[in-house]
Structure 1
């Protein structure tokens, strides 16, 4: 919240070289001013309500004689203005570090804030007034211009650029600021306000619909085969998964299946490469569905068709001609006009859906749009038009079952009308030593921004890998799709099945995984601070903790109620997955643990009640296997979706536990700091394919 000065009404207009001052209720001061530039007249319009919105109005003055040569706003440098923050302490920035990806930074000072920062989160300086306060500064991609934040000495340079030549003026929303005691809510409020001001309210994640197919486990061909994917290879993998009873429900055929010139990186045809898929794509899909029970099959394609567009004179060019455009350099790509872009994708997707029986698509390289259209069309318009066409086609043919990928540039993030899932990190890289470190911080911290728009696809992983445990529990808190890409013969179900029910349904958290409060401003790679990511499942919280420091040192960590927003009062029960240990946590208390180098642990924070069902303890989130609980004075009945060690917390000691009518061997262990105990009842039937199990707790 911001303090309103008496006598000053919103909006406030700040003209050339003047300064506007905003102040939060907690005492953070924000100073905004335009700066002198050659023949550029600029002003800032500040609309202050619960959040503060900054609009930039600027134009390049024409040169006399007016009929002579003119200069325009630089497509890359655009128009800049300045911001100074006073009364802030620690900083965290989410910035675009590659053309397609964003990642976090932990600046020690304002000058360290990276170029192309999209979200800056600042904490109020310790001792500056009472109580915690945070400030979120959000850069917006408007109708034409995108804004970027960068450190410049003790100030911030805010730049709005169009990516288009011959532009003489800008009139766009540039920044939104939100302040308050909850940093997650600050990020959420800033995005919601910006979407409301740009007429895109329905692009907020909570307004979108998560595709039901991604509630089930999948497999992707990429890391298994890379460009050598073939029907024969896929079927060998399906045989292995069936033999190991891994309940894969969808398959994604990634890059390498296409009829393309892989040297020139251009698309030649709409179907599969004949040498890899002799019967065509449709024959492969039919075999997957009929012989292996795969419910959905999807394919990968680039936003441009293939990485470098279409091959001139090819069947693909002929089929997609109405929706494509020839650029000045000869490349053939989707036209950046929504109707034509729709015709491009609609023609191809119609073929994939109706001829090949494809159910979903992964569309890669999306942030290349602004590279292909650099100088030709504005950031907001080029990406906005192509995203409209792509999303309309994906909605029409695949019911919005689309994974957006390599599309974390702000012009893409702000312009997808309907699709709900987007990759939130660079690729999973199985052959890069300690690749998990970067993978974990990107997915966790990027979600503070992208998680406001989409559910994150935290990418595939290998279940047979030196970092399989960390990657597995990372997916437990992601809230998004879960799928692997192991090579033939290499799938290890021990790191897959704890994430799933036996029917392949993912036990999925309900929000998007994000860093805990004590992790927000700490660099877990360059320090020995344990990275903790959290999410919510029903009335519990799931916390994944990781030691990813680059010096490979053991780390001490802790969990407390203060780590999560809104839990600083009352009490909760902390459950440690690997130790199968329960501890009662109250305000001001914490649970300490130790992690060896490159290790992790999973915790549940459960309600502190007389009786709490944990469910099947072999699962990371055992409550996902609980179908029904009927409590009575003499007996409590729990219906499970499947068998396994049944766990519950109770202040009463049970007289016996019956598992499908058979007395179960039971172990009780006192919950530290509580009068209750953790009880574990072993499944007397062991491994069983039986669906639906009944546990009776006799009091």
Structure 2
């Protein structure tokens, strides 16, 4: 069993002589080797063992161009690397939702000319948040930046391929105190290094109580049901009449959509582009929503139970207009001079002190409650830093805003979806919120974007999923390239699932497998993550299968194998799902559980798309032709039986409760009647069923009349 307790924090006692002048070396507490030589500003990760967070004790420095300190990193020999950074070579601010998992043989390759593995991204940025190394002895070494309340660290790849750590504020104010520098973890278990590094970082004294593990947070009720969002279909063209029409059609639709999210386009603002939009008030736009949000609220029903609203972290993309109507906030705002297309664009932003920050976010989130909304989606979070760049301490200010947002959403709203938040400052300040976007936006009917979106969503879950459930964004069931693929990936995420089709374009056959008749979603026990070897590949350039796994109830595991390479290879990509893969299924469950073991009687596989399966003989071979996926569930065999589950649903095993295995009979509860598949070598019967059909391979398909109530089932030989 893995160590479930937080790892110790290694405190680095650093004596400050003058600003930027440090002396002394610090030894790694596990042996006599020097891990960090302060005098030479070198971190020797070749000697790293286990996991720790390194903290600069009694540190004091004044930033030069926003930089407090640089430390070179001596690396061990490694076979390959994954560098989590944004795109555009020198970018670190404004990463938004664009953190890509750049995989290569070495760091030098990642910043080499012509290295551009993602067709929907620019060249990789040299500035990153995480670095994952695969070592020659089948171990992994992870280095993780840390965003504390006063400073944040990130990595930079030098031109010669070496690595350094930068401690920054992007401001001018002197920083002093015990400042976390970096976390690291080394293990032969991929999932352990991400979990241990994260735990070490958030358990430093500076970060204590500012965030939490995923399982420690309350998951909002509405996100356990199917939803709908206006953005991808209508963008900023929404009006009151359009939203009323959409909601009326959703009400009439046979699909059980239980919540509606009013996305960007409703605000009382000037300008309608991201670059020039400034908020005038917290009300709806008087021209496009002349009666405010009341016409929408009047359409609440037993079906559409919850309503959500979108806002930007700054109120609007570019903050508040100087002539805004929220004059009570004036004492809590500062003016920031920006430009748009070469012309001055003054904006108002909340001050960085705790009172001003709280007054702004209490006002913003409080307004959503006043208008009748049940939850909020907050966008543009990690772009805040640029607004404050060059002022006293932007890291401190943005950290304070994140804490104020969390408190306001916790006290005044029923839920929060974090968006444009793939950065350490956002994640390390998710004190209450349990949901965050982890990927670039989904885009309708765009194969390149779909591949990038899927790859990024699963890879970023490795680090973001420590603290939140990974929102894979909305999707169109009617997407001609990836409708079913997106539906399955959303099911695997365990996060909110929300459609964005025009309501009369819903493809019911792709959506109903996600939920029950009341819209309640079937969810895995933990978010899906890549299998260890997939986590290290460049899936968008390599003609290899990218494979992910999510744990399901009753000892079952769901796997998806993707062919994401672009251009799509002409040759068939071959892969498999094996008994060894099953052992990784529970690795992302929180709190941590022992590594799953293959049952003595073996496993049964079920290919959901092909509707076939049987006893797994070590591995199930898969062929992927073109941009495609294969969706397979493995279920344990006990006393001769295995329960695949209700195959009307993607996560079939999650539709079954309270299984009781006996040699001659099987008892279980179907959460909602449908089509049940079980395994036994011998013929089976069920008195309650309308029909029993042999599928081959020992699988039996048992049909039940449709219903909405739980039903207890007995299957006998």
The TM-score, its normalising length taken from structure 2, stands at 0.84
- Where in structure 2 are there 5+ consecutive unaligned residues? 3-9, 16-20, 88-93, 111-124, 339-345, 585-594
User: Which of 118, 137, 141 is the aligned partner of 2:129?
Assistant: 118
User: Which of 165, 184, 191 is the aligned partner of 1:177?
Assistant: 184
User: Which of 248, 265, 271 is the aligned partner of 2:277?
Assistant: 265
Question: What is the CA distance between 1:448 and its match in structure 2?
Answer: 1.2
Q: Which residue number in structure 1 is paired with residue 427 of structure 2?
A: 413
CA contact (8 A) 1:612 1:648 kept: yes
For residues 154 and 583 of structure 1, do their structure 2 counterparts lie closer, same or farther at Cα, with a shift above 3 Å needed? farther
Q: C-alpha distance in 2, partners of 1:630/1:559?
A: 27
Please say which of residues 565-574 and 602-611 is displaced more in the overlay: 565-574
CA contact (8 A) 1:322 1:344 kept: no
Q: C-alpha distance in 1, partners of 2:598/2:39?
A: 47
For residues 87 and 679 of structure 1, do their structure 2 counterparts lie closer, same or farther at Cα, with a shift above 3 Å needed? same
Question: What is the CA distance between 1:453 and its match in structure 2?
Answer: 1.6
Question: What is the CA distance between 1:104 and its match in structure 2?
Answer: 0.5
Q: Which residue number in structure 1 is paired with residue 647 of structure 2?
A: 617
**1:180-228: CA deviations, max 9, x gaps?**
1211011101110111113425522222221121111100000121111
Aligned residue runs from structure 1 range 318-333, under 5 A: 318-327=327-336, 330-333=346-349
Q: C-alpha distance in 2, partners of 1:517/1:23?
A: 29
For residues 621 and 389 of structure 1, do their structure 2 counterparts lie closer, same or farther at Cα, with a shift above 3 Å needed? same
Question: What is the CA distance between 1:266 and its match in structure 2?
Answer: 1.0
Q: Which residue number in structure 1 is paired with residue 208 of structure 2?
A: 200
Q: C-alpha distance in 1, partners of 2:536/2:75?
A: 17
Q: Which residue number in structure 1 is paired with residue 63 of structure 2?
A: 73
Please say which of residues 485-494 and 473-482 is displaced more in the overlay: 485-494
CA contact (8 A) 2:670 2:713 kept: yes
Question: What is the CA distance between 1:593 and its match in structure 2?
Answer: 0.6
1:358 aligns with 2:358: no
CA contact (8 A) 2:127 2:157 kept: no
Q: Which residue number in structure 2 is paired with residue 386 of structure 1?
A: 401
User: Which of 408, 412, 436 is the aligned partner of 1:422?
Assistant: 436
Aligned residue runs from structure 1 range 474-485, under 5 A: 474-485=489-500
For residues 398 and 625 of structure 1, do their structure 2 counterparts lie closer, same or farther at Cα, with a shift above 3 Å needed? same
Aligned residue runs from structure 1 range 366-515, under 5 A: 366-399=381-414, 401-430=415-444, 432-466=446-480, 467-515=482-530
CA contact (8 A) 2:79 2:105 kept: no
Q: C-alpha distance in 2, partners of 1:104/1:203?
A: 24
CA contact (8 A) 1:45 1:56 kept: no
1:107 aligns with 2:110: no
Aligned residue runs from structure 1 range 154-165, under 5 A: 154-165=161-172
Q: C-alpha distance in 1, partners of 2:188/2:436?
A: 29
CA contact (8 A) 1:30 1:84 kept: no
CA contact (8 A) 1:44 1:55 kept: no
User: Which of 223, 227, 230 is the aligned partner of 2:236?
Assistant: 227
Q: Which residue number in structure 1 is paired with residue 579 of structure 2?
A: 561
- Higher relative CO (Cα under 8 Å, sequence separation at least 6) belongs to 2
For residues 48 and 31 of structure 1, do their structure 2 counterparts lie closer, same or farther at Cα, with a shift above 3 Å needed? closer
Q: C-alpha distance in 1, partners of 2:258/2:175?
A: 53
CA contact (8 A) 1:55 1:172 kept: yes
CA contact (8 A) 1:277 1:284 kept: no
User: Which of 314, 325, 341 is the aligned partner of 1:304?
Assistant: 314
Q: Which residue number in structure 1 is paired with residue 626 of structure 2?
A: 597
Q: Residue 551 of structure 2: SS of its match in structure 1?
A: strand
**1:446-476: CA deviations, max 9, x gaps?**
1111111211111001100121121111112
Q: Which residue number in structure 1 is paired with residue 343 of structure 2?
A: none
**1:120-141: CA deviations, max 9, x gaps?**
111221xx4xxx3211111111
Q: Which residue number in structure 1 is paired with residue 113 of structure 2?
A: none
Q: Which residue number in structure 1 is paired with residue 342 of structure 2?
A: none
Count how many residue pairs are aligned between Structure 1 and Structure 2. 651
Question: What is the CA distance between 1:294 and its match in structure 2?
Answer: 1.0
Question: What is the CA distance between 1:296 and its match in structure 2?
Answer: 0.8
Question: What is the CA distance between 1:17 and its match in structure 2?
Answer: 9.1
**1:593-634: CA deviations, max 9, x gaps?**
101111112111222322222221121112333244455676
For residues 154 and 312 of structure 1, do their structure 2 counterparts lie closer, same or farther at Cα, with a shift above 3 Å needed? closer
For residues 24 and 520 of structure 1, do their structure 2 counterparts lie closer, same or farther at Cα, with a shift above 3 Å needed? farther
For residues 645 and 81 of structure 1, do their structure 2 counterparts lie closer, same or farther at Cα, with a shift above 3 Å needed? same
**1:382-418: CA deviations, max 9, x gaps?**
121101211111111114x000111222222212322
**1:141-184: CA deviations, max 9, x gaps?**
12322111123335311111111124376851111111112110
Q: C-alpha distance in 1, partners of 2:215/2:64?
A: 37
1:658 aligns with 2:687: yes
Q: C-alpha distance in 2, partners of 1:23/1:133?
A: 21
For residues 492 and 382 of structure 1, do their structure 2 counterparts lie closer, same or farther at Cα, with a shift above 3 Å needed? same
Q: C-alpha distance in 2, partners of 1:95/1:310?
A: 30
For residues 497 and 547 of structure 1, do their structure 2 counterparts lie closer, same or farther at Cα, with a shift above 3 Å needed? same
Q: C-alpha distance in 2, partners of 1:92/1:207?
A: 28
User: Which of 606, 626, 644 is the aligned partner of 1:575?
Assistant: 606
Q: C-alpha distance in 2, partners of 1:698/1:584?
A: 19
Question: What is the CA distance between 1:324 and its match in structure 2?
Answer: 2.9
CA contact (8 A) 1:578 1:601 kept: yes
Q: Which residue number in structure 2 is paired with residue 253 of structure 1?
A: 262
Q: C-alpha distance in 1, partners of 2:317/2:518?
A: 37
Q: C-alpha distance in 2, partners of 1:139/1:262?
A: 37
Q: Which residue number in structure 2 is paired with residue 145 of structure 1?
A: 151
1:338 aligns with 2:349: no
Q: C-alpha distance in 2, partners of 1:681/1:239?
A: 37
Q: Residue 489 of structure 1: SS of its match in structure 2?
A: helix
Q: Residue 575 of structure 1: SS of its match in structure 2?
A: strand
User: Which of 223, 226, 231 is the aligned partner of 1:217?
Assistant: 226
User: Which of 642, 647, 663 is the aligned partner of 2:672?
Assistant: 642
Q: Which residue number in structure 2 is paired with residue 84 of structure 1?
A: 74
Q: C-alpha distance in 2, partners of 1:275/1:328?
A: 28
Q: C-alpha distance in 2, partners of 1:542/1:377?
A: 49
Q: C-alpha distance in 1, partners of 2:105/2:664?
A: 60
For residues 693 and 567 of structure 1, do their structure 2 counterparts lie closer, same or farther at Cα, with a shift above 3 Å needed? closer
Aligned residue runs from structure 1 range 18-57, under 5 A: 32-33=36-37, 50-56=50-56
Q: Residue 86 of structure 1: SS of its match in structure 2?
A: coil
Q: C-alpha distance in 1, partners of 2:203/2:175?
A: 27
Question: What is the CA distance between 1:552 and its match in structure 2?
Answer: 1.2
For residues 309 and 168 of structure 1, do their structure 2 counterparts lie closer, same or farther at Cα, with a shift above 3 Å needed? closer
Q: Residue 116 of structure 1: SS of its match in structure 2?
A: strand
Question: What is the CA distance between 1:512 and its match in structure 2?
Answer: 2.1
Q: Residue 687 of structure 2: SS of its match in structure 1?
A: strand
**1:330-386: CA deviations, max 9, x gaps?**
4211222222222112223323213x2110000111112211111114343112110
Question: What is the CA distance between 1:582 and its match in structure 2?
Answer: 2.5
CA contact (8 A) 2:244 2:295 kept: no
Q: Residue 440 of structure 1: SS of its match in structure 2?
A: helix
